[in-house]
Amino acid sequence: MKKYLIPIIILCIVAAGIFLRYRIVSPARALALDLQAINGITVGKTSEAELLGHPAFQTIDRRCFGANCDYHVERSNSFLSRLHLAPHIFVGTDVGVRDGMVTRVSVFLARQGLTPVVISQNEKLPAGCASSPCVKSVTTPAKIRFNFVVTFDKESELRNRMPEMLNPACLSRLRGCNGYSCRWQTN
């Protein structure tokens, strides 16, 4: 009986290691797939039927209110943050559809202790934006910064660079990434 005990313990340790690695790495892999799914979507040109032609959009949570539908996914490093091995990082992707055409593609990024950032492709730039991309700080009436919004239009090449702009690996790093580098790839 004792001769089987050591291999069983080793097998249990290996299985636990594989399970932990999966729990740590899976949010980053899922985020990379989410970013790839929204890559190349053009507001005003991509139809809802084209979205549903991609396997990723066939399983994404869909919420509709009248003629408006949102395809929304959220990813976070909840496993690492619950163990206090990394600050909580949250990333959400959202594709808005109205009357069968894509009207908005957004990515929301938040990290504990830092101001959230929203990256959004819209058909038109908001009032007061002269260039694409347009960066604005959203503040409350009490002058508290709520978030930063980076907006670009359907003509911008940024719509084809979502997987390159964002760094999904920060969801699976111990201690996360430093500052805003968790959001942007620097290479």
pLDDT for residue 179 is more than 70: no
Q: Kindly report, residue by residue over 25-74, the tens digit of the pLDDT.
A: 999 899 888 888 888 788 888 888 888 888 888 888 889 898 899 999 99
Does any domain span residue 142? yes
| Pairing of the two strands 68-76 and 89-98 | antiparallel
Does any domain span residue 43? yes
Give the CA count within 13 Å in the CB-facing half-sphere of 176.
27
Cα-based distances in Å from 18 to 23, 49, 67, 81, 125: 9, 38, 45, 19, 46
pLDDT for residue 2 is more than 80: no
Cα 91 to chain centroid, rounded: 4
Does any domain span residue 76? yes
* Cα separation, 33 vs 14, whole angstroms: 27
Q: Kindly report, residue by residue over 96-148, the tens digit of the pLDDT.
A: 999 889 999 988 888 877 888 888 888 877 777 777 788 777 766 666 666 78
Does any domain span residue 70? yes
Does any domain span residue 147? yes
Does any domain span residue 166? yes
Domain count, the chain: 1
Does any domain span residue 187? no
Structural domain including 174 reads 2-182
